[in-house]
């Protein structure tokens, strides 16, 4: 316990800043605040460098993607229907069909296996398959956040649990602690968004549902 306390006391400023801003992003996103995206933009810029430095290459690439999605998410969330009387911070939650999620997950699994094989055989990446799986699914989950899809939080719960193991193994203890907190916030976010979705009785989002 004392060793962990000393680690936090001597925590590099860069990682501490990234951790606090990333935490702010998730909390603000769970509350439906537009300001989650500026926090995400800065934290992901910092984590892009941090993960590259410890050879978690897919996580580094993922944070580069997050950087772009933070700007896109900000743009999406500030768009409001013409007849909307809601405040700027309010968001309209939608839900996509289970069959659509199952098909999407199967496609993502195939992509993750292919990329994991490449990373394992042609790069010095650490934990190539686990790192790739969390990356591929996080890419999809981030898009779901920008589209205000309720189920995004369920993806993040699984992604965060796997990520905790990766970061502990790479001695990124503050980030591992951050992801433990993420799991709690993801559960809170799901319950909060579901309550808002059910209260407003929002219809299903228009999605490319495949018959069969």
Tens-binned pLDDT, residue by residue, of the chain (212 aa): 566 566 556 667 888 888 889 889 999 999 888 899 999 999 999 988 888 887 777 778 878 888 999 999 999 888 765 445 544 445 688 999 999 999 999 999 999 999 999 989 988 888 889 988 998 999 999 999 999 999 999 999 999 999 999 889 888 787 788 789 999 999 999 999 999 888 875 444 444 444 33
pLDDT of residue 206: 47
pLDDT of residue 103: 96
- Asked if residue 67 is part of any domain, the answer here is yes
pLDDT of residue 158: 96
- Asked if residue 1 is part of any domain, the answer here is no
- Asked if residue 6 is part of any domain, the answer here is no
- Asked if residue 85 is part of any domain, the answer here is no
pLDDT of residue 111: 96
Contact in structure between 128 and 120 (CB atoms under 8 Å)? yes
Q: What are phi and psi of 111, to 5 degrees?
A: -60, -45
In whole angstroms, what is the distance from residue 88 CA to residue 148 CA?
A: 14
- Taking all residues of the chain, what is their mean pLDDT, rounded to a whole number? 83
- Asked if residue 3 is part of any domain, the answer here is no
What is the residue range of 190's domain?
14-78+94-200
Helix 2-9, helix 173-200: angle, nearest 10:
80
Residues in the chain, overall count: 212
- Asked if residue 88 is part of any domain, the answer here is no
pLDDT of residue 88: 43
CB atoms within 10 A of CB 74: 17
- Asked if residue 2 is part of any domain, the answer here is no
Contact in structure between 41 and 71 (CB atoms under 8 Å)? yes
pLDDT of residue 81: 54
Question: What is the number of structural domains in the chain?
Answer: 1
Q: Which value, in Å, is the radius of gyration of the alpha carbons in the chain?
A: 18
């Amino acid at each position: 316990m004392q060793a962990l306390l000393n680690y936090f006391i001597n925590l590099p400023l860069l990682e501490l800043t990234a951790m606090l801003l990333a935490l702010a992003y998730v909390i603000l996103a769970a509350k439906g605040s537009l300001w989650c995206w500026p926090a995400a933009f800065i934290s992901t810029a910092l984590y892009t460098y941090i993960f590259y430095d410890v050879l978690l290459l897919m996580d580094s690439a993922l944070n580069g993607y997050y950087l772009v999605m933070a700007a896109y998410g900000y743009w999406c969330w500030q768009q409001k229907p013409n007849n909307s009387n809601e405040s700027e911070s309010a968001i309209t939650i939608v839900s996509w069909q289970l069959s659509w999620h199952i098909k999407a997950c199967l496609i993502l699994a195939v992509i993750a296996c292919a990329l994991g094989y490449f990373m394992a055989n042609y790069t010095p990446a650490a934990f190539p398959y686990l790192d790739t799986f969390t990356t591929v699914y996080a890419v999809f989950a981030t898009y779901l956040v920008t589209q205000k899809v309720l189920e995004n939080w369920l993806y993040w719960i699984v992604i965060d649990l796997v990520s905790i193991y990766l970061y502990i193994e790479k001695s990124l203890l503050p980030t591992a602690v951050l992801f433990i907190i993420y799991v709690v916030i993801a559960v809170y976010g799901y319950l909060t968004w579901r309550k808002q979705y059910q209260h407003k009785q929002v219809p299903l989002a228009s999605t490319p549902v495949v018959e069969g």
